Amino acid sequence: MRISDILRVKGDQVVTVTPDATVERLLGVLAEHRIGAVVVSRDGTTVDGIVSERDVVRALAGKGAGILALPVSEIQTTQVRTVSPEAQVEDVERLMTLRRFRHVPVTADGRLAGVVSIGDVVKHRIEQLETERSTLEGYITGERT
Ligand code: AMP
């Protein structure tokens, strides 16, 4: 299965902030959308960075509450790993596990086409395992489902 199959179900909406948005504003966006990371983008279509709740926690622990007034560009990750809609879900799962991040923006022709989280990938894996299990049960009992 491909990343585009996940996006077809969850949609291609990507929450972005501009690099000059403050960290306080970022926290509002994360809370409002109930998400853990946002893509940093100047124009809403290209990826300039990514900033997650972990970046905020790390900056707060290191520099204190003063970071709330700083722009997100000060705490973002700029070397963003993106994937294409054609990527296999299993490969993206491996990437997230190895690199220890829980979000991957999806781009097509350099433009944002969605975002997948580890939660989306796990949901997909559970559904896949359930389908496989019921198919195997069908073979064993002779009842095709
Ligand atoms: P996360 O687990 O997604 O909350 O992110 C953990 C760390 O990895 C944070 O420093 C993020 O800025 C960074 N990060 C998250 N997603 C990506 C990505 N796709 N490419 C590169 N870094 C990322």
Name the DSSP letter for residue 39: E
80 lines ligand 1 (CB under 6 A): yes
Residue 142 CB neighbour total at 10 angstroms: 6
| Gap between the Cα atoms of 70 and 136, Å rounded | 55
Q: How far apart are the first and last CA of the chain?
A: 21
The structural domains of the chain, with segments of one domain joined by +, span 3-141
The pLDDT tens digits of the residues spanning 66-118 come to: 999 999 999 999 999 999 999 999 999 999 999 999 999 999 999 999 999 99
- Expressed in angstroms and rounded, the spacing between residue 127 Cα and the centre of ligand 1 is 25
Region 49-71 average pLDDT = 98
| Gap between the Cα atoms of 55 and 111, Å rounded | 24
At residue 29, the pLDDT reads: 98
124 lines ligand 1 (CB under 6 A): no
Region 117-132 average pLDDT = 91
Q: Whose CA is nearest to atom 15 of ligand 1?
A: 101
> What predicted TM-score, i.e. pTM, was given to this entire model?
0.90
Confirm if 57 and 12 have CB atoms less than 8 A apart: no
Please say whether the structural domain 3-141 has been given the CATH code 1.10.3720.10.
no
pLDDT band, residue 145 (cuts 50/70/90): low
Is residue 16 packed enough to be buried (19+ CB in 10 Å), middle (13-18) or exposed (0-12)?
buried
Of all atoms in ligand 1, which is nearest to the CA of residue 104?
19
36 lines ligand 1 (CB under 6 A): yes
- Expressed in angstroms and rounded, the spacing between residue 32 Cα and the centre of ligand 1 is 20
At residue 92, the pLDDT reads: 96
Q: Is the pLDDT of residue 144 over 70?
A: no
At residue 57, the pLDDT reads: 98
As given in the structure block, the two tokens for residue 98 are 């190895």
- DSSP output for 2-22: BHHHHHHHH-S---EE-TTSB
The pLDDT tens digits of the residues spanning 2-31 come to: 999 999 999 999 999 999 999 999 999 999
117 lines ligand 1 (CB under 6 A): no
Our mutation pick for probing the ligand 1 site, out of 15, 51, 52, counting the most ligand atoms within 8 A of Cβ, is 52
